[in-house]
Structure 1
Amino acid sequence: MLRRIPFGKFAAALVAAVLLAAIAAVAWNPYLLVRGEFARQRIAAGLSQHSVEVAGFHWVYATRDADVVDAPTVVMIHGFTGGKENWYPLARELRGRYRVVIPDLPGWGASERKPGADYGFVAQAERVAAFIRAVSPGKPVVLLGHSMGGGITALVAARHPELVSRVGLLDAAGVRFRDNRFGEEVLAGKNPFAVTDDASLHAYLDVLFFDKSKAPAIPWPASVGFIRQRRADAAFEQSVLDKIGRGPQRFLPGEEAANIHQPALLLWCKQDAVIDASALDLYAARMPQARKLLLDGCGHMSITEQPHNVAMAVESLIEQGVAR
């Protein structure tokens, strides 16, 4: 005869089994903690996750509709070693005012990576143009790009003006800025963003963030998962940097910026140790219609260090065609 187990004991045993399974999963793959934190941030920003097949790649993106019908769509393009999560603080500031769409670029984050594919400025710009057509058919978008994503955004705005009504380049790559340690290491064939251990993880965060209080905390064992993931991505990162940092395309965004005629925002941080703030004036020389904004007290990650100030500038660009 089978003995009946009290429901309370059964429930406790089930919870214990689930917890043990979760602990085992995290022990096997600590990067699950990082993904969990990304999901928490996405939900806190009011975003939902979706996917789409575009330009031969599977894209994963975060989005939130505006509270007002026919509000502009804002598409945000992340930088080198980044992902859609970098934009969540800004998306949170803009929540409700605009429709927000934030993809992981092909090759990065949760989007598809194909071995041997081209992930340079030109190839990614054409993919982003196709993505815009898919998520905002027949309606131009406000296109924002950060770092590498800024170089991609510049090419999209210049080559596909019918897709972009407003353009924002934030700490954007694509011009020959004043020499700094980061640029010198790139030209020497190194990847200054490489992460292989705890020391290089801290060095990576230190060069990105001037305001250390805004740098993400990556405690153990999440740090173990993050480091493993970056080690696995090392060859891919190097191949992309060969294209956008040392190859013949590296200054193409700046050259083609002269073909950007839409209302534009050029936003940098004074203490940017990656793309030196001298890049702002180099872009501005080719984009006389652009409004310039130089923030103080932040580094390369303006969108996470000062999201409120960036949001004010983006809102002014959208509503008035100028950056406040």
Structure 2
Amino acid sequence: MRRGTPAGPRGAAAGPRPTEVRELTVVSTGGARLHTRIHGPDGAPTVVLVHGWTCQARFWNPVLRLLLPDHRVVVYDQRGHGRSPATPGSCCADALADDLCAVLAASVPAGERAVVGGHSMGAMSVVAAAGRPELAERAAAGLLCSTGVDRLDGESVVLPLRPGPWRGRAQRLLLRNPLPYGPVTPLFRRIVRHVTLGPGADPALLLWTSRMVRDCPPGARAEWGRVLATLDLAERLPRLDLPVTVLHGSADRLTPPVHARRLAQRLPRCAGLIELQNLGHMTPLEDPAAVAEALRGLVREHVGASAARAPTPAVGDGPGTQPVNPPVNQPRDRQER
């Protein structure tokens, strides 16, 4: 049984409330029906945000609130996550690209281009779509947060094992685990902290993250985990013909900084490498201000005032519910390279 989406931690800073929220269902390949939300006013520059494995669109709430009201922000639940139903047997790298391209076509006005930001598997969606005409037509620049495109099982340091085949096998088993996670116990929170967050993560943020990870349906989690265990998108990087900023946390165990540095070297148009000190894998939750700042910079540089347009009719089925409160912002110490 699928649980409800997690609420924000009590007492979290709410930030500015969205002026408008619209919901629509975007149809993609393999029967996928992607729950999509558009926040903010028509006429503002568009930012499309893609969440990662075991997360959901509300993962982006802390960043979204910092972008409103002067941006139009699109978020969607990846297939099998949040309010997007699973499509068993269809999960693969091309499905990630299909879904992103479908959302771009449905949400970015014709003749305009957006900044696309992805976290973890969401950033892999951007790379998977490299070379596709939909990405070239609708995306002006990209932000890749806390991600890698190959060697994910071998270079993760989640398990305290020496590098080698045994560590890779153990981490593949962890990714493919189809069992439910059960209640959010103190032990489960300790595991989530170790795997996903930096050492200074706030307890409220830890609880919010633990509930979100727990709520991901185990079947979809395992199927996408099998994809990640063998993922290799390195050959697609040369076709990612966009200005792309890479951002990562120095204490990331799932995708250690070696991935970010290798990405920065391989990208044909790398716009910068940002390292957030002592942060883990969940950089948009741990330091949403730094992520929002990076997105704003890409909008200023590559979209700017030219994105302004006359208001257009609302897209989708009408107003949706307001987003939940985000986790508490964490202090940051940023190093830009």
Superposition TM-score tier, normalisation by shorter sequence: 0.7 to 0.9
Matches within 5 A, 1:44-55: 45-46=17-18, 48=21, 50-55=23-28
Larger mean CA deviation between 237-246 and 55-64 belongs to 55-64
Q: Does 1:125 align with 2:97?
A: yes
Q: Does 1:212 align with 2:211?
A: no
* Mapped contact 2:38–2:73 kept (Cα < 8 A): yes
Alpha-carbon distance in structure 2 between the residues aligned to 1:205 and 1:77:
22
Q: Give a deviation string over 1:178-206, Cα, whole Å, max 9, x none.
A: 72333736644223887345223430233
Structure-1 residue corresponding to 2:257 = 277
SS of 1:145's equivalent in the other structure is: strand
Alpha-carbon distance in structure 2 between the residues aligned to 1:226 and 1:265:
27
Structure-1 residue corresponding to 2:118 = 145
Aligned residues: 282
* Mapped contact 2:117–2:144 kept (Cα < 8 A): yes
Alpha-carbon distance in structure 1 between the residues aligned to 2:55 and 2:94:
18
Q: Choose the corresponding residue for 1:258, options 213, 229, 238.
A: 238
Alpha-carbon distance in structure 2 between the residues aligned to 1:228 and 1:175:
26
The one-letter code matched in structure 1 to 2:224 is V
Alpha-carbon distance in structure 2 between the residues aligned to 1:104 and 1:165:
22
Q: 1:107 to 1:85 in 2, by over 3 A?
A: same
Q: 1:97 to 1:256 in 2, by over 3 A?
A: same
Structure-1 residue corresponding to 2:188 = 200
The one-letter code matched in structure 2 to 1:130 is A
Q: Does 1:58 align with 2:33?
A: yes
SS of 1:153's equivalent in the other structure is: helix
* Mapped contact 1:158–1:257 kept (Cα < 8 A): no
Alpha-carbon distance in structure 2 between the residues aligned to 1:257 and 1:137:
26
Q: Choose the corresponding residue for 2:128, options 144, 150, 155.
A: 155
Q: 1:108 to 1:227 in 2, by over 3 A?
A: closer
Q: Choose the corresponding residue for 2:156, options 172, 180, 186.
A: 180
Q: Give a deviation string over 1:34-85, Cα, whole Å, max 9, x none.
A: 54549x999965263512242243322232124xx63321110000001111
Structure-2 residue corresponding to 1:25 = none
Q: CA deviation at 1:157?
A: 4.0
Alpha-carbon distance in structure 2 between the residues aligned to 1:156 and 1:186:
29
SS of 1:100's equivalent in the other structure is: strand
SS of 1:107's equivalent in the other structure is: coil
Alpha-carbon distance in structure 1 between the residues aligned to 2:151 and 2:2:
39
Matches within 5 A, 1:220-259: 229-230=215-216, 233-246=217-230, 250-252=231-233, 254-259=234-239
Q: 1:283 to 1:167 in 2, by over 3 A?
A: same
* Mapped contact 2:93–2:125 kept (Cα < 8 A): yes
Q: CA deviation at 1:226?
A: 6.8
Q: Give a deviation string over 1:264-310, Cα, whole Å, max 9, x none.
A: 11111111111011111211122142111111121111101111111
Larger mean CA deviation between 92-101 and 74-83 belongs to 92-101
Q: CA deviation at 1:101?
A: 0.5
- Between structure 1 and structure 2, the one with the greater Rg is 1
The one-letter code matched in structure 2 to 1:184 is G
The one-letter code matched in structure 1 to 2:256 is D
Q: Choose the corresponding residue for 1:320, options 264, 277, 301.
A: 301
Q: Give a deviation string over 1:205-236, Cα, whole Å, max 9, x none.
A: 332110321653549xx98x878745xx2232
Alpha-carbon distance in structure 2 between the residues aligned to 1:109 and 1:30:
9
Q: CA deviation at 1:130?
A: 1.3
The one-letter code matched in structure 1 to 2:53 is F
User: What do you get for the CA RMSD once the two structures are aligned?
Assistant: 3.3
Structure-2 residue corresponding to 1:16 = none
Q: 1:164 to 1:214 in 2, by over 3 A?
A: farther
For normalisation by structure 1, the TM-score amounts to: 0.76
Q: CA deviation at 1:262?
A: 1.3
